[in-house]
Structure 1
Amino acid sequence: MSTSFPTIDQATFHNSFVEEMKGEATFNNSPRQVPGYHYSRVTPTPVHDPKLLAWADELAAFLGLSKPAERGPAVDALAGNLVTGSMKPFAARYGGHQFGSWAGQLGDGRAISLGEVTATDGTPWEIQLKGAGPTPYSRRADGRAVLRSSVREFLCSEAMHYLGVPTTRALSLVQTGDEVVRDMFYNGNPQAEPGAIVARVAPTFVRFGNFQMMAAAGELDNLRALADYVIRRYYPELGEPSGPQVYVRWFEEICGRTAVMLAHWMSVGFVHGVMNTDNMSILGLTIDYGPYGWLEPYDPDWTPNTTDFGSRRYAYGQQPNVGLWNLWQLARALAHLVETPELLRPGLDLYSATYESTRHEMLLRKLGLTNIAPDEDKALFEALNEALAEAETDMTLFFRHLSHLAPALLSGQEQEAAAWDTLLAAAGYATAPAAEARLREWLPRYLQRLRQETAAPEAIRAQMLAANPKYVLRNYLAQQAIEAAEAGDLSVLNRLMEVLKTPFAEQPEHEELAAKRPEWAREKPGCATLSCSS
């Protein structure tokens, strides 16, 4: 990496949101309602002993930033202890629907944005400190984050990027030297845990809830100003906001991007866990990595979030529908900018169509197929979902092993019955043979369909391996990294991060990181279930 890059304390920050939006400049961090503003100016609360634990080298190089020493002025800036002259820290005001109910004012309760740096390609990227202390939007919380949740956010932000999923990024992980008290499962057992701060990065962290808050409060001038700001800076292809039709086209673009993001989630088996409208990016990026998880036993009703166990609103199979519901809530807010709400309905239809087409295309790639039999393939995909669930199949391992075995069957290198036995032994969690019956019926049907393809087996294998990751951030792997980091050992975290940078590569020396969830992790906190606590 070039040594000519500055460290973050030497970088020049720009502050478009602060300078163009309406802000409160009292620097009063006490929790309260903040009517009439898009944001509040705040100052991060210093921590005792900031120390750099992890750094995203490739992202830093893109941003034009050098890796800092373990301690020093740059790490002070990443911990909120140092605010440089070009930074104008702020916390954004927004609202949102949480678990389907309007929650009123929410806002950046533990996130403080420092401003924007200009990346090496000339684009501005906002840097935000998560866990940097209280803001007016902290409600009854302390504005801090613990090491376990910060490790998970750092790892997952970067892992999703390398999987090709639209996502916010993470630049650094800093331990604060302070302890934070958290009741991990809200069951009356609070404990002191080590604190940490993640510097997360995105073009903007504006979300659906920013617009909902303005509309709910009747602040229509603020609503329009925010919409115009986002369009000018992040949707310049739409032109200057000069009339209602621009807002209609913009909403359609948001719907399309959100649909593509959801299709990516479903393709890799990612479950966000808390798809509240305040956790939905206006750019169609995955945002706010809390109680997330990856499908291990394939179960459309699975959610990693203990808070959601009652309704399973945010379960894996519900995510596409929730995405549509959330967009409908955004449409209700943006309806104030157009002549009639009906003008926004085509955007919702576009979401559904884009999701279905993108999801279908991704499944074709995962199975080594081309779009030569769309009706047949749709039925094939529906049958696969049912078969995977019944067999309690590990989604990641199933598709990865299939990527090797199916092309080998085409070229006569494997016997069919033996190949399917190998696949089910490697990817199955179910112990009863009857649970595998439907999947054993599906596999020959799939192979028959695969034989209609004209590509060579090696080309099919290459297509499948490029669509089916071998390595994903399974919760038990993240938990192992957390426990080691809490004990002062960063080698587990660093190794895991390096492996997750090339999730589609074989990396045989790291084979154990591709293993299915071990039995000891089935019920272990942090491995199977999580809460919103951080």
Structure 2
Amino acid sequence: MPTAPLDQVPFENPFVEELRGELSGNKGSRQVPGYCYSRVAPSPVPDPKILAWSEELGGFLGLARPEERSAAVAMLAGNLLTSGMKPFAARYGGHQFGNWAGQLGDGRAISLGQVPAVDGSRWEIQLKGAGPTPYSRRADGRAVLRSSVREFLCSEAMHYLGVPTTRALSLVTTGADVVRDMFYNGNAAPEPGAIVARVAPTFIRFGNFQIMAAHNELDNLRALANYVLRHHYPELGEPSPAVYVHWFEEVARRTAVMVAHWMSVGFVHGVMNTDNMSILGLTIDYGPYGWLEPYDPDWTPNTTDFGSRRYAFGQQPHVAMWNLMALAQALSPLVEDARALRPGLDVYAETLAATQHELFLRKLGLTSLDRAGDQSLIEDLPAALAEPEIDMTIFFRQLAHLAPELLAATGNEEALFSKLLEKAAYSIAPNEDQTLRAWLHRYTERLRQEPASAEAIREAMLQANPKFVLRNYLAQNAIEAAEAGDLAPLETLFNVLKTPFDEHPEHEELAGKRPDWARDKPGCATLSCSS
């Protein structure tokens, strides 16, 4: 397909044109009651340079990779606007760590508008780190290279894993430092600034509706709901109380599918506030995220959450339900009886269970021969993995490679299990692997019931179990190299993450366990919301 520079692409602005907004352009931090957004332009930066570009996403959007020092790079840095753009920052609220936080909004993100993709769909381009908006509170609206590399890489890595997600188009440095206190401990320091161009059909969140309901702005609430229905759920029909109910059920279904995918790959979002929940069921706002390395359902990478572990890996399905309940409360003025929204929560629970079951069957190379037995096998696996220090990603990948040998084994299963555990475990104290070994015996017996050939089972499992995920220590290595001016680690990691199910034997170092030096290193084991 032909591509064009970003500065030559026509932008569309339905969110601005169809909803009520504040038009002053004032970037000063303040409350903005009565509006869905504020019109505000990005703040220019001194020396923008492009560090990374998603060729595949760019091609899908009909966009050519920008030339150095081009108008397109200036646009991606917020230094240039075209006549068709109507940039804005959205107003929303949310519950943060379970507490109502009031007005939040796009404090460091500014949307440029929508562009058409090659398939006719429309995608919003948003600059994260583009400067202050009315919703920045006491912050500067900027982002550092550290967090921007993480957001760029993870947005695309999740897409290639098959997880519902927002995308990232580009990563641009600004030429200006940003002062950040990484762990909020009084050690603020300058860091290089950067801007990520994020892409999604929309960035509307649960919190957009919550702020309207909290302030009794029912006209804005209804207008926003109708906008989302028209543009993103047109198959549900014209807005009405009954359609609002069906829409909530679909949001719940999509949210369940997203969370089930998180759980299947060992992803921990880290900050599942209601303002970080997409109305489209997409993973949004990549901040203090991480992947399970030693399997631990109580693990969270977010230092802010160490006290309660509200957003730990094993809590994510429950938190998503809680967030959906908050959304239902916000949408209740639109329906005749708030109880009509209750079945949507059942849809969430049922979809989550069914999707997780299906995803883990694929990971284990099983088909639906024994629903009850398979369910028990799947439900017992987390406890078996948690007792020893098992790397979840490596465990499933090695299990795929081992499947043919397990099928052919005649009495040497224990030796095969030892081989698997040697590759997947960080350390195993005496007798800590007994539960997992017992589980592996059950699994082997079940696997032998499958009608497919050993090689077919192995290949199917390899396509369901990635070899490569964006481990925090890998991201940190790429960040440190980029800060020193070396983009090769970033480029290599990005390219490998595009095909995470392939072997890439030349990049075995990117598939290894977390090294000892990364166990407690900031950015590898612990992160904060600081950006």
> Same fold, TM exceeding 0.5?
yes
Query: Does the alignment pair 1:455 with 2:447?
Result: no
Partner of 2:248: 251
Identify which of 347, 353, 356 aligns with 2:353: 356
Measured at CA, do residues 348 and 239 of structure 1 come closer, stay the same or move farther in structure 2, by a change above 3 Å?
same
Report the 3-state secondary structure (helix = DSSP H, G, I; strand = E; otherwise coil) of the residue aligned with 1:506.
coil
Equivalent residues of 2:270, 2:312 under 8 A apart? yes
Measured after TM superposition, the shift of residue 379 of structure 1 is 1.6
Q: Deviations over 1:382-441 (max 9, x none)?
A: 221101000110000000000010222213499422211111011101241321121111
Cα root mean square deviation, aligned: 1.0
Q: For residue 189 of structure 2, what is the amino acid of its counterpart? A: Q
Q: After superposing the two structures, state which structure 1 stretch, 461-470 or 59-68, moved more.
A: 461-470
Counterpart for residue 515 of structure 1: 512
Q: Does 2:117 match 1:119?
A: yes
What CA distance in whole angstroms lies between the structure 1 residues aligned with 2:92 and 2:491? 35
Please tell me the residue identity of whatever aligns with 2:6: I
State the SS of the aligned residue for 1:433.
Answer: coil
- 1:417-466: per-residue Cα shift (whole Å, max 9, x none)? 22111110111012413211211111111101111111111111122111
Does the aligned pair in 2 maintain the 1:99–1:276 contact within 8 Å?
Answer: yes
Aligned counterpart, 2:166: 168
Instruction: Map 1:373-392; keep pairs closer than 5 Å.
Output: 373-392=370-389
List per-residue Cα deviations over 1:250-307 (Å, max 9, x = no partner).
0000000000000000000000000000000000000000000000000000000000
Q: Distance in 1 between matches of 2:111 and 2:46?
A: 20
* Structure 2 counterpart of 1:458, one-letter code: E
What is the deviation of 1:506? 0.9
For residues 215-294 of structure 1, what are the structure 2 equivalents within 5 Å? 215-241=213-239, 243-294=240-291
Q: 1:180 aligns with which of 178, 193, 199?
A: 178
Contact 1:408 1:414 (8 Å CA) reproduced: no
Aligned partner of residue 169 in structure 2, secondary structure: strand
Q: Is residue 2:302 matched to residue 1:313?
A: no
Distance in 2 separating the partners of 1:521 and 1:344: 45
- Identify the residue that residue 496 of structure 2 maps to in structure 1: 499
The residue number in structure 1 matching 2:402 is 405
Equivalent position of 1:419 in the other structure: 416
Contact 1:96–1:278, Cα closer than 8 Å, also in 2: yes
> What is the match of residue 66 of structure 1?
64
Normalized against structure 1, the TM-score is what? 0.98
Structure 1 stretches (4+) deviating beyond 6 angstroms? none
Whether the aligned pair in 2 keeps the contact of 1:207 and 1:279 (CA below 8 Å) is: yes
Give the distance between the partners of 2:440 and 2:175, measured in 1 at CA: 53
Cα distance change of structure 1 residues 413 and 441 upon mapping to structure 2, 3 Å threshold: closer
Query: Does structure 1 residue 395 correspond to structure 2 residue 392?
Result: yes
Aligned to 2:87: 89
Q: Aligned equivalents of 1:311 and 1:70: distance in 2?
A: 46
1:51 is aligned, of 49, 74, 97, to 49
Amino acid paired to 1:281: S
**Which residues of 2 match residues 74-153 of structure 1 at below 5 A?**
74-153=72-151
Q: Residue 341 in 1 paired to residue 338 in 2?
A: yes
SS at match of 1:129: strand
**SS of aligned partner of 2:95:** strand
Distance 1:342 1:407 in 2: 51
Contact 1:244 1:339 in 2 (8 A): yes
Aligned to 2:366: 369
Structure 1: gaps (5+ residues): none
Determine if the alignment matches structure 1 residue 476 to structure 2 residue 470.
Answer: no
**Quick one: percent identity of the two aligned structures?**
72
User: Hey, what's the Cα distance between the residues in 2 that align with 1:397 and 1:88?
Assistant: 46
Cα displacement string for residues 334-368 of structure 1 (whole angstroms, at most 9, x for unaligned residues): 00000011000000000000000000111111101
Structure 1 CA distance for aligned equivalents of residues 13 and 417 of structure 2: 57
Once the two structures are superposed, residues 309-348 of structure 1 have per-residue CA deviations (whole angstroms, 9 ceiling, x without a partner) of 0000000000000000000000000000000110000000
2:321 aligns to what SS in structure 1? helix
Which whole-Å CA distance do the structure 1 matches of 2:330 and 2:396 have between them?
A: 40
Q: What TM-score do you get using the length of structure 2 for normalisation?
A: 0.99
2:130 maps to a residue whose letter is A
Preserved contact between residue 50 and residue 177 of structure 1 (Cα < 8 Å): yes
Q: Tell me the distance in 2 between the aligned counterparts of 1:442 and 1:409.
A: 13
Q: For 1:21 and 1:166, how far apart are their aligned partners in 2? A: 27
Letter paired with 1:394: D
Question: What residue number does 2:29 align with?
Answer: 31
Q: Does the Cα contact within 8 Å between 2:85 and 2:112 map onto a contact in 1?
A: yes
The residue type paired with residue 384 of structure 2 is A
Contact 2:389 2:428 in 1 (8 A): no
Displacement of 1:14 after TM fit?
A: 0.3
C-alpha distance in structure 2 between counterparts of 1:413 and 1:107, whole Å: 61
Quote the Cα distance in structure 2 between the aligned partners of 1:488 and 1:60: 24
* Alignment partners' CA distance in 2, 1:165 and 1:74: 29
Decide whether the 8 Å contact of 1:31 with 1:136 is kept in 2: yes
Is this contact kept in 1: 2:176–2:193, CA < 8 A?
yes
| Code of the aligned partner of 1:486 | E
Equivalent position SS for 1:439: helix
2:300 aligns with 303
> 1:491, 1:394 → 2: CA distance?
27
Give the SS at the match of 2:8. coil
2:9 match: 11
Structure 2 partner of 1:194:
192
SS in 2 for 1:179: strand
In the alignment, what sits opposite 1:210? 208
